[in-house]
Chain A
Amino acid sequence: MAVEKRHFVCVVCPIGCEIDVVHDGGKIISMEGNKCEKSEEFVSQELIEPMRILTTTVRIQWSKWAVIPVRADKAVPKRLFPRIMKQLRRIRLQAPVNMLDVVVKDVLGTGANIIATRTMPRE
């Protein structure tokens, strides 16, 4: 793979260092603008596969509310967000649901579970 320049804003801490990185197929050749070493791990991961925590809602029946908030219990590849959202749109949960109940196990084979983030009793 060819040598490429990229720009990142590090989100490891609130400072938000603006980082210019030169890499070769994900291998960092040089980095500029970071104030600490923690950025290195962040940038390496960003170059290979940006990972994020997905938070959204799914439909719920027999509850006072129409939707229940959920999240991935660990970071999943950002590029899978549209596909995960599509899968979650088809789900109809039924109250009662407890906080941290698993809604989808191992979503799209990522190893992450989609879990409820609020307790909703049956009405």
Chain B
Amino acid sequence: MEVDVAAIGSGPAGLTAAIHAYKSGAGKVLLLEREEQLGGILKQCIHNGFGLEQFKQDYTGPEYAERLTEELGKTNVQCLLNTLVTNISPDRIITALSPEHGALEIKAKSIVLAMGCRERTRSNIGIPGTRPAGIFTAGVAQRFVNIDGYLPGKEVVILGSGDIGLIMARRLTLEGVRVIGVYEIMNYPGGLKRNIVQCLNDFDIQLHLSHTITEIKGRERVEGVTISKVDSDLRPVEGSEQSIECDTLLLSVGLIPENELSKKAGIELSTTTGGPITTETMETSVPGIFTCGNVSTVFDLVDYVAQTGTAAGISAARYASGSLSRIRQSVDIVAGKNVRLLFPERYSFQDDLVLFIRATEPLEKPVTIEVAPPGSRINRPYARPNEMLRVKIPKGKLAQVRDPIRVSIREK
């Protein structure tokens, strides 16, 4: 099979990319999805707050997915469901498997990566103790409750204050589960402030900052956990241990971009975002392969995911038609003071630069984001590690730049 643009994954990133590749004039667009329905993880995110920016509507995840799917239905994008991509080659040949079509080989003029991210597990953070049943990542528990209709347990402790953990604290409380508390190793919350308020405070669920779990107890099933305070180096404080009885532990301890396929294609990955090193056109280090959404870096809001999906779809269509410049002139974008990560990390002089920035430390006061060269300064009321900052530098301002672009956040 030969196509102009192939998008891999049909969550908000892939759907948006496919729609915009079509709208930008790509003749044959193919969307590959391993599940039996489009929408990706949106299907299990049944809470509202999706699409406030993009559609000026307060949708739930499934509604947002159906809205995008409807839009996709007005295009001639071909969808292959139940189709698992097993390989991408650097010359853009996709190998995929499906019960209906068997083994497929798809030659694509350009490819959009939209595989999303996966959750960090107990092994990623190394909690000592036994290995009983009853330990779930928050997203897996979310799937059990919201799609399969099962509750993960009766008395739950949540480790980590990522957004999915907060959302699940509320969801389980509504379903009659006792949520004992949320424990966060950092001295600031991982999730958005509005989720702390609406998911924890609203239901009198306690958030314990600077705490972690130092032991899991139980043989067949979780019987309890040991909670410890941590010091400023995040080491457990001796003598602060506290034993809590519970039958379930949910982990909301971070997300990792899902880049197994990107590695096979020989794409250069970033050590900070975990995703491909990308230019402002969403192009990776392999020409003709673009990236968007949480496979690139983990975003806070679906609106940001959709914005990168739009950019990747447009660029992929332009590449396929030969109208995207193939001159590889670019400069690096590097993190300066109080910047933990940046997306994208390269600028290739083709479009305006929309920068997503995550701060290292919370600054609860007016800040200036400095982008130099060209020396742009943008003010914001605060900078918090749990809320990405987004700034736009027009193409015209960047034309003369030759040195790496340094991005810093300073107190105003």
| Interface contact B48-A53, CB-CB below 8 Å | yes
Chain A residues with Cβ below 8 Å from B63 are 99, 117-118
Bound-state CA distance A11–B387 (Å) is 14
For A10, the closest partner residue in chain B by CB is B197
Tell me whether A5 is interfacial, beta carbon within 8 Å: no
Bound-state CA distance A11–B198 (Å) is 8
Query: Quick one: CB contact mask for A42-72 with B, threshold 8 Å, 1 for yes?
Result: 0000000010111111010000011101010
| Interface contact A78-B48, CB-CB below 8 Å | no
Bound-state CA distance A51–B83 (Å) is 43
Tell me whether A35 is interfacial, beta carbon within 8 Å: yes
Given A15-B381, A35-B381, A65-B148, decide whether A117 and B60 contact each other with a Cβ distance below 8 A: yes
| Interface contact A99-B194, CB-CB below 8 Å | no
| Interface contact A57-B149, CB-CB below 8 Å | yes
For A16, the closest partner residue in chain B by CB is B193
- Majority SS at the chain B contact face: helix
B62 to chain A, nearest CB (A): 4
Chain A residues with Cβ below 8 Å from B43 are 118
Interface size class of A (residues with CB under 8 A): 20 to 34
Tell me whether A109 is interfacial, beta carbon within 8 Å: no
Chain B residues with Cβ below 8 Å from A67 are 146-149
| Interface contact B382-A15, CB-CB below 8 Å | yes
Tell me whether A94 is interfacial, beta carbon within 8 Å: no
A67 to chain B, nearest CB (A): 4
Tell me whether B145 is interfacial, beta carbon within 8 Å: yes
Tell me whether B327 is interfacial, beta carbon within 8 Å: no
Tell me whether A119 is interfacial, beta carbon within 8 Å: yes
Bound-state CA distance A55–B198 (Å) is 12
A12 to chain B, nearest CB (A): 9
Given A14-B193, A52-B198, A55-B60, decide whether A119 and B66 contact each other with a Cβ distance below 8 A: yes
| Interface contact B148-A66, CB-CB below 8 Å | yes
Tell me whether A9 is interfacial, beta carbon within 8 Å: yes
Chain A residues with Cβ below 8 Å from B149 are 57, 59, 65-67
B182 to chain A, nearest CB (A): 16
Contact residues, B312-326 vs A (CB, 8 A): none
Tell me whether A108 is interfacial, beta carbon within 8 Å: no
Bound-state CA distance A85–B172 (Å) is 12
Most buried by A among B192, B193, B381, B382: B193
26 A-B residue pairings within 8 Å (CB atoms): A11-B193, A11-B194, A11-B197, A11-B198, A14-B192, A14-B194, A15-B382, A16-B194, A16-B197, A52-B198, A54-B174, A56-B174, A56-B175, A57-B46, A57-B146, A57-B149, A59-B149, A65-B147, A66-B148, A67-B148, A69-B62, A71-B46, A85-B174, A117-B46, A118-B43, A118-B62
Q: A11-B194, A81-B174 are in contact. List 14 more A-B contacts (CB 8 A).
A: A9-B193, A14-B387, A16-B197, A35-B381, A54-B174, A55-B60, A57-B146, A65-B147, A65-B149, A67-B146, A69-B46, A69-B146, A78-B202, A118-B63
List of 10 A-B pairs having minimum Cβ-Cβ separation, nearest first: A66-B149, A16-B193, A69-B46, A118-B62, A67-B149, A117-B60, A9-B197, A11-B194, A117-B62, A117-B63
Which residues of A are at the interface with B, using a C-beta cutoff of 8 A? Answer: 9, 11, 14-16, 35, 50, 52-57, 59, 65-67, 69, 71, 78, 81, 85, 99, 117-119
Which residues of B are at the interface with A, using a C-beta cutoff of 8 A? Answer: 43, 46-48, 58, 60, 62-63, 66, 145-150, 171, 174-176, 192-194, 196-198, 201-202, 381-382, 387
